[in-house]
Structure formats: C-alpha cells, structure tokens
Structure 1
Amino acid sequence: MTVQTDDRDLWIRRYHPAPDSAVRLLCLPHAGGSASFYFPVSQALSPRIDVLAVQYPGRQDRRLEACVETIPELADRLLPLVLQEADRPLALFGHSMGASLAFELAGLLERQAGVVPAMLFASGRRAPSRFRAEDDVHRRGDDALLTEIKRLAGTDTRILGDDEMLRMILPALRSDYRAAELYRPDRFHRLSCPITALTGDTDPKAPSDDVSAWQDHTTGPFALHTFPGGHFYLVDQAPQVIKLITETLTYR
C-alpha cells in the first residue's frame, strides 16, 4: 500500500519547526514507541537541527489504524513522505526497532532515490546481520510480553498497571516485536552513508560485539559510542546523546 503525500502530518510530527536549519533529523521510535518519545530531542536540538518524529499506525492518535506488519513495509510507506524532506541534508536516528527501520529506509533512499543520508544513528540495536534464536517475544503470551517490556524498563510502570491502557498498547507492542524480530535485510546489506552506532553498556538486547557489527553494513565511516545504562540508556544519558548528535551533524 502506497502512502499518499497528503498523509505527511499523520506519519511525521514536527514539534519544533526549524526552517532555517542546515540539516534535518528523522527519528524512528522503538517497538511500542511513539513520535512523542522524541519531543525532548526535538526541543533540545531546535533551531539548529530540524527534527522530524515518525508516528507509526496503531498507537496514540493512530490507535484505530492497523499496525504495519513488517519493517520493509514500514520503510516503503515512509519513503515518499521522507523524500519530501530531503531538500537539505537528512540524517536518520532509530532506537531499537527504529534502528532496523532506519537501515531499511536508508537503503531505499540510496538505491531508489539517490539520496545518501548524512548519517545513520543506530541506537540500542544489534547489526542487521546478527540474529538471535531468542528473538521470539512476539510469540509469547501477554504476561510474558509485558514482563519483557518491564525488564527493558521502556514503558512507564504506571501504564503497565492500568488494564485499559494495556489493552490499547498490547496489539501495537506485539506487532512491533514481530516486525523487529522477523526482520531480515534481504534487499540491502551495505550502505554508503556513514553509520554511528550507540548502545548502553548493560543492554541485554544490544551487546557491544553485536552493535559494533554495524560497521559491516556500510562502505562509509563508522563510529561506536557506548553509554552507561541498559536498553533505554538514552533516557538517562539524554544530554550526552544530544551532544553527540549535535556535534556529529553540525561540525561535519
């Protein structure tokens, strides 16, 4: 299914417009995440960097829409909208599932549109070539799925304790986990854009060896940055992550 260009406001949120910025940053959320996760990032980077945050179907104001089932389909649907934002250098930042989506989308941009991203920030995610047998969370029952989310400390425990909210977020969570865990990059294995990989030093989902393998997926420059913390290190380490993004995109 092709996304119509007039759906841009549905998919892409611009919380702090920065029309005079020299570079744009497209932010892609984690499994179960939403565009609003990046509101503080947008606030911190504006007006030097124009931040765009993607809102996937099946959550918040799009909760009545069907979730997209695969990473390639998400990338295909986003491509025409992202191309509208490529009139200046465009970088991609994806956390966890969002990093896989950023990689797939970068491949489409390079191969189909000739647009080479200024940078791909891959956060909290093993390299696309590193698969694990334990990637089966999407097949588990609701209690096991919620236990995994709590373990990663990525969802507010106050929401996890609300039955009504649970019923609302579980379908999106399960669909996102399915998309992330079954993703295999069969279309694009190597990019030409630079990649910066980020991870927490105690992240059980993204150990350093697997994260460093992102360098095998680009012919361009590669850098690895490790921060204190677990899977959602970027919440506690927000100032350091913001500093890295700013220095990377404005001093290149």
Structure 2
Amino acid sequence: MTDPWLRRFHPADDAPARVVCLPHAGGAAPFFHPLSKALSPAVDVLAVQYPGRQDRMAEPALRTIGELADGVTQALLAWLDLPVVLFGHSMGATLAYEVGLRLESRGTPAEAVVVSGRRAPSRLVHDRVHLQDDEGLLSEIEGLAGTDPRVLRDPELRELFLPALRADYTAVETYRPSPGPLAAPIHAHTGDAAPHAPVDDVQAWSSHTSGEFTLTTYPGGHFYLVDHAAALTDALLKLTSGL
C-alpha cells in the first residue's frame, strides 16, 4: 500500500503498535529515518511527507494547518488496524494534535499524542516570520541550528526549499486551534533551552487533554531530539509497549 503522504522506511508487520511521525516546518519524512530504524521491529513507523518537498516537489505546498491535518488524517485511515501513537516535532506537534482531534471525531482515536518542541495551542504567539523576505526567513532557520548552513546558503537549494518553508511558516503562524480537548493522553517533550517553546508554554499542553499528561525535558534547544535520540526512542518504546 502506497500513499504520497506516508513513508514506511522499516516495515514491521508483526509489531503490536504504530507510531506516526510528523516533521517540523521545512522538514520532510527522512528526518525520522533514524528513529524509524531504532524503533523497528518493535514498532511500525510511518513518517509523514508533506506536499511541496522532495519527491512531492511538483505539488503546491499547503499553507494552513487545517489542510495539512485533513490530508494526514485521510492518509491514515488505511493504517488504523494497529493502535496508533501520533508523534510530532514543532509544527508537527500542532499537526499531531489536530489529527488526533479529527481521528477522535471519526470514532477512531489515537492511543496517545506525543508533542515535541512546541508550545501549547493556548500559548501560541502569532509571529510574522512568514511575511519576512527570504533573508529574514533563512535567519530564523539558522537560529534554530537544525539545518546545515551550507544548505541554507546554496542558491540552487534555496530555490527548491524556500517555497515549502514559507508555506509551513504561514501555516504555523496563522493557525487557530480546533475545539478540544483531546480525550487521548498527551506526552510532551522539549529542550530546556528551546527558544520558541519555553517549558511553561509546553507544560500548558496539559489543558488540551482530558486524559493523562506528562512532560519530559532534556538539555538542549529546538532540535534536542537529535542529541537525545536514544532517550526519546526509549520513551516511545515504553509508551507503545503497553498498548
């Protein structure tokens, strides 16, 4: 089964649970290739590929969280044969929450939603980075220290990734939450020095679930999950092992 929205790097047909990974703004499914490898074969992993990048470059990038969440939800309907955990980093955390709400409204809820490096919807600050020129947008990305500066400054590569990046920032910065809260548990993870996700603002995810809430912090900034991949993998394995 193939779908343009989903990548299954390490199929685990005998796994008892499935984790769906949603990337950050400007990100793509291969960002989660190492996590997929680490979780397999105990967990079947699907990584989401948004339109407008890599092998979906010919498609227009979507500019609202609602459109992205609708697309992901529709793609997941064929993969609900196992218990599903939604895991999103940064923009992906917001999408995980919105997809979780959509799945619950259909009567096919996720077992849990794991949000990473993102302030709660009730604490959103509606910045205007998406309205800046290309240099301003690139400076914002450089400040997050998650992308090789040589890639950001290569003129040919910039021409390829900037439209999707601007669309993602537009989606994030114009987002208005759907009515909640989730019934599913929310488990939040973040770096203690993440510039756009202060720990208090991540703690506020607790008000967006009527179920269990946990918060785990790590030393580091926005891309703490790269340096603490082993700890995050262990947390996801522990979560899914009880499903």
Structure-1-length-normalised TM-score: 0.94
Deviation by residue 1:80-120 (Cα, 9 ceiling, x = unmatched): 22011111100000000000111110000001x21121110
Quote how far apart the aligned CAs of 1:46 are: 0.3
Q: Report the secondary structure of 1:84's partner residue.
A: helix
Q: 1:3 aligns to what?
A: none
Residue 197 of structure 1: aligned partner: 188
Aligned residue for 2:76? Answer: 82
Contact 2:87 2:114 in 1 (8 A): yes
Q: d(CA) in 1 for partners of 2:221 and 2:108?
A: 33
Q: 1:248 offset after TM fit, Å? A: 1.4
User: Equivalent residue for 1:183?
Assistant: 175
- The partner residue of 2:111 within 108, 118, 121 is 118
Q: 1:169 aligns with which of 150, 158, 161?
A: 161
SS at match of 1:120: strand
Give the secondary-structure state (helix, strand or coil) at the position aligned to 1:53: strand
Gaps of 5+ in 1: 1-5
Structure 2: tracts of 5 or more residues without a match: none
Shift of 1:129: 1.1
Q: Does 1:130 align with 2:98?
A: no
Which amino acid is 2:19 matched to? L
- In the alignment, the residues of structure 1 paired with residue 15 and residue 204 of structure 2 have an alpha-carbon distance, to the nearest angstrom, of 32
Contact residue 119 and residue 197 of structure 2 kept, 8 A: yes
Take 2:151 and 2:9, find their aligned partners in 1: how far apart are those partners?
A: 24
Separation in 2, partners of 1:242, 1:79 = 24
Contact 1:104 1:188 in 2 (8 A): no
Specify the alignment match of 2:150 in structure 1: 158
Distance 1:161 1:140 in 2: 17
Q: CA offsets per residue over residues 5-58 of structure 1, 9 Å max, x none?
A: x8x421100000000000000000000000000000000000000000000011
Counterparts of 2:37 and 2:91, CA distance in 1: 23
**Does the 8 Å CA contact 2:8/2:45 hold for their aligned counterparts?**
yes
**Equivalence map 1:211-222=2 (5 Å):** 211-222=202-213
- Cα deviation per residue 1:210-234 (whole Å; 9 max; x = unaligned)? 0000010000000000011000100
2:25–2:90: 8 Å Cα contact kept in structure 1?
yes
Q: CA deviation at 1:161?
A: 2.3
Report the AA paired with residue 219 of structure 2: P
**What is the CA distance between 1:251 and its match in structure 2?**
3.4
Give, in whole Å, the separation in 2 of the partners of 1:154 and 1:229: 12
Question: Which of 60, 63, 72 is equivalent to 1:69?
Answer: 63
Q: What percent of counterpart residues are identical? A: 53
1:206 aligns with 197
Report the 3-state secondary structure (helix = DSSP H, G, I; strand = E; otherwise coil) of the residue aligned with 1:244: helix
TM-score computed with the length of structure 2 as normaliser: 0.97
Cα distance in structure 2, aligned partners of 1:132 and 1:40 = 31
Residue of structure 1 equivalent to 2:102: 108
The 3-state SS of whatever aligns with 1:132 is coil
Aligned-pair distance for 1:188?
Answer: 2.5
Does 1:51 pair with 2:42? no
Question: How many pairs are equivalent?
Answer: 243
Instruction: Measure the CA separation in 2 of the matches of 1:132 and 1:92.
Output: 23
Mapping for residues 144-155 of structure 1, pairs under 5 Å: 144-155=136-147
